[in-house]
A and B are shown apart, each in its own frame.
Chain A
Amino acid sequence: MVAALTLAWISPAVAHATQIVSITTGFSPERLGAPTTVSLGFDVRTPDGSLPSALTGIDFHYPADLGLGTSDLGLATCNPAKAGYYGPSVCPANSIMGSGSALAKFQVSPEVSEESAKIVIVAGPSQHGYMNLLVTATGAYPVKAHILMTTLLEPGRLHFNVPLVSGIPEGPDVAVVRVRIKIGGKLTYYERRHGKRIAFHPQGIKLPRRCPRGGFRFNATFSFLDGSSVAAHTVVKCPRPRK
């Protein structure tokens, strides 16, 4: 996997923005025309190291010529209500599309406490012909929390509304400071052949045979509870031709 170039800046349109966000992306393997696992991540921090504002939304743009639609990920769907209530463990194996982790921080005066959460991405029932992604994040300690986000898989765009999670009573909402996810990867699906249940590994997302000029560009805008929004972008450079 080739490390992605990461850039970030505070949106000049928002004078009071206090968050700095960087995004990372990568393909593994990084081979044009081949199936790959897509890695996505972001980090949120403040210039003075204080607790960032709670994240409320992500508008994520990816190259539309990635083969997300034609991939064999998400061959079954998970009921959003069940996934939201019980967690992704109740979802069919063939609906799992990826996984990852998140790190959140919250104020326990005067200390700042941390909590990690497990992320699972599953396919939900399609809406208006678009594939629907359900992103579940489950944290156990010290705050037991389970959140569900949904987004339509539009060509080149994913939009998430991030629900607020309360920290301690009367305290500020939990701030997400780091997320790392992989779409694809080592997943095991099942199919029926001649009455038998056969396991197989989905191929993942196909990369186009040609690299876009300047590489694969990813952009994201992050919205925060304090009203600020921050844009960030990154580029996965074109792989070197294979010898």
Chain B
Amino acid sequence: MLRVAAIAIVMLALAQTTTAQARTLSVRDEGHLHYLTDNATLIVDEGAVSGTIPGTARVSFWYNGSPSVSARFTIIAHGGTLTGIAHCWLSNPNSLTPSFRGHLTIPSGSGRYRHARGSGELFGVFHRRGYSLIIQAIGRLRY
């Protein structure tokens, strides 16, 4: 009898822990990133992001002339990191500051975000002089 009660208490505790850990958050983060390095068609930028999950973001942005561009990003936040990828469509390529927009997914994280999964939209502006980026991510995150 005592053994059954002990198992029940342990299971209840585990269930409470799981409930406490599984959180869903509406995320809206944005930042002005500065140029770090590049490899011709790949631009790497870094900078502070503010919003729901503030921290430092590093973004690798691929653009080879096709309007279909992609970005891989890592946000180093308090207590953990979030890693994601976005596939976007770039418009006005002749502009000084072409803009892009597309779907983002967050498949992984670390620390307090180690179970993170999320999706949403990424908006961005690429500055063709100086290679800086302005990004805004809007989505939902479960962690």
Please give the distance in Å from A123's CB to the nearest CB on chain B: 5
Whether B43 is near chain A, meaning CB under 8 Å from some CB there, is yes
What 1/0 flags go to B71-105 for Cβ under 8 Å of A?
Answer: 00000000000000000011111111000000000
Whether B143 is near chain A, meaning CB under 8 Å from some CB there, is no
Q: Quick check: B66 and A155 within 8 Å, CB to CB?
A: yes
Contact size range, A? 20 to 34
What 1/0 flags go to A113-150 for Cβ under 8 Å of B?
Answer: 00000000001111011111000000000000000000
Whether A75 is near chain B, meaning CB under 8 Å from some CB there, is yes
Per the 8 Å Cβ criterion, residues 51-79 of A in contact with B are: 64-72, 74-77
Chain A residues with Cβ below 8 Å from B41 are 64-67, 69-70, 208
Please give the distance in Å from B34's CB to the nearest CB on chain A: 16
Q: Quick check: B93 and A208 within 8 Å, CB to CB?
A: no
Q: Quick check: B94 and A206 within 8 Å, CB to CB?
A: no
With a 10 A CB-CB cut-off, give which of B65, B92, B96, B129 has the most chain A CB atoms: B65
Whether A179 is near chain B, meaning CB under 8 Å from some CB there, is no
With a 10 A CB-CB cut-off, give which of B40, B91, B92, B95 has the most chain A CB atoms: B40
Please give the distance in Å from A104's CB to the nearest CB on chain B: 30
* CB contact between B40 and one of A65, A74, A153, A154 (< 8 Å): that residue: A65
Whether B16 is near chain A, meaning CB under 8 Å from some CB there, is no
Task: Please list the residues of chain B having a beta carbon within 8 angstroms of any beta carbon in chain A.
Answer: 38-41, 43, 63-68, 89-96, 128-129, 131
